[in-house]
Amino acid sequence: MASGAGNAVVEWHQRPPNPKNPVVFFDVTIGTIPAGRIKMELFADIAPKTAENFRQFCTGEYRKAGIPIGYKGCQFLRVIKDFMIQAGDFVKGDGSGCVSIYGSKFEDENFVAKHSGPGLLSMANSGPNTNGCQFFITCSKCDWLDNKHVVFGRVLGEGLLVVRKIENVATGPNNRPKLACVIAECGEIYLPHSSTRRVQQLILWPPSLMHPLPLTQGRCATSGRLKKERRTTLEASLSFNARRYLNCPGPL
C-alpha cells in the first residue's frame, strides 16, 4: 500500500499517477487480430533501476551489435486466469531466457510497492536477485508475492481491458495461450504536460505492420508518429493463489 494525503491509504494499482514517471505502451495482437493498447506507468520514483530496464526494452534503446532488442515481437507465454499474464522472454522464447540492460540479471531493487490488485507490473524471477527481461501483469490481488517479486509499474486506463482479453485466451500445456498473444509494437509515450520528462526520440526497430489504435500523444518505437489515446478508468478485484507459475526456469 502507498500512503496518500493525511491518513488516507491508496492501493498501488489505484495510485495517483506521477507525471514525472515514464509511460510506455504495448500494441497487442491476439492471433492475427489487433487487441488494443496496454499503456503503463513505470514507477521510476519507487524502483528506478527496474523501471529503466523495462523502459529500454520497450523503446529499443538497448542494443546488441548495434541491433535494437527488446519486447517488440515478444509473446505472452504464460496466462493464468484470475492470476497473471507473463511475457518478456525475447531471448529464447520459451520462458527460460534471462537478460537485462545491466547484464545477465540484476538484484531485487526493493519491495516497496505491493501486489495490491490487478494491472500491476512485476518482475518474474527464479529466486532472489535474478531479475532480467521477464515480467508479469497481475489480474488480481496477489499479496502472497509481496517481498518476493519487485513491483515496478501499473497498467493505465483502458489497457486493463486488453489485459483481460489476454487473460481469457484459452490455454494449453504449461498455461501457454492457444492463440499467439504478441507485443506487435512497443515504445514510450510523450506526455506534453510533463515538462520535466525527456521526449523519447525515434528508435529504429525493424519495420513491421503498424496497427492504428485510438491513442495520448506519443511516439511509437517504430515510426515515431504521434497518436492520440482515450483515457478511462477500470478497476477490478479478484483473488487467486499460484506463486509457482512466476518462476523462470533459470538465467542464461
User: DSSP code of 124?
Assistant: -
Q: Extract the C-alpha cell encoding 168.
A: 481469457
User: Residue 82 — left, alpha, or beta (φ > 0 → left; ψ -120 to 50 → alpha)?
Assistant: left
Q: Is 134 a catalytic residue?
A: no
**Which of 145, 156, 160, 213 is flagged as catalytic?**
145
DSSP assignment of 190-227, as one string? --TT-TTSPPPPP--PPP-----------B-TTT--B-
**Which of 21, 53, 86, 200 is flagged as catalytic?**
86
**Which of 21, 56, 75, 125 is flagged as catalytic?**
125
Q: Do residues 54 and 124 make contact, with C-beta atoms less than 8 angstroms apart?
A: no
**Which of 57, 90, 136, 152 is flagged as catalytic?**
136
Q: Extract the C-alpha cell encoding 226.
A: 504521434
Pairing of strands 67-68, 120-123: unpaired
How far apart CA 73 and CA 53 sit, in angstroms, is 17
Main-chain dihedrals φ then ψ at residue 107, nearest 5 degrees: -75, 160
Q: Is 21 a catalytic residue?
A: no
**Which of 78, 115, 154, 197 is flagged as catalytic?**
78
Q: Is 136 a catalytic residue?
A: yes
**Which of 26, 54, 83, 90 is flagged as catalytic?**
83
* Cβ neighbour number for residue 205 with a 10 Å cutoff: 21
Q: Is 193 a catalytic residue?
A: no
**Which of 13, 115, 149, 219 is flagged as catalytic?**
149
Length of the chain: 252
Q: Is 145 a catalytic residue?
A: yes
Q: Do residues 215 and 157 make contact, with C-beta atoms less than 8 angstroms apart?
A: no
Q: Which stretches of the chain are DSSP H helices?
A: 48-59, 159-167
User: DSSP code of 15?
Assistant: P
Q: Is 56 a catalytic residue?
A: no
User: Residue 226 — left, alpha, or beta (φ > 0 → left; ψ -120 to 50 → alpha)?
Assistant: beta
Q: Is 247 a catalytic residue?
A: no
What amino acid positions are annotated as catalytic residues? Answer: 78, 83, 86, 125, 136, 145, 149
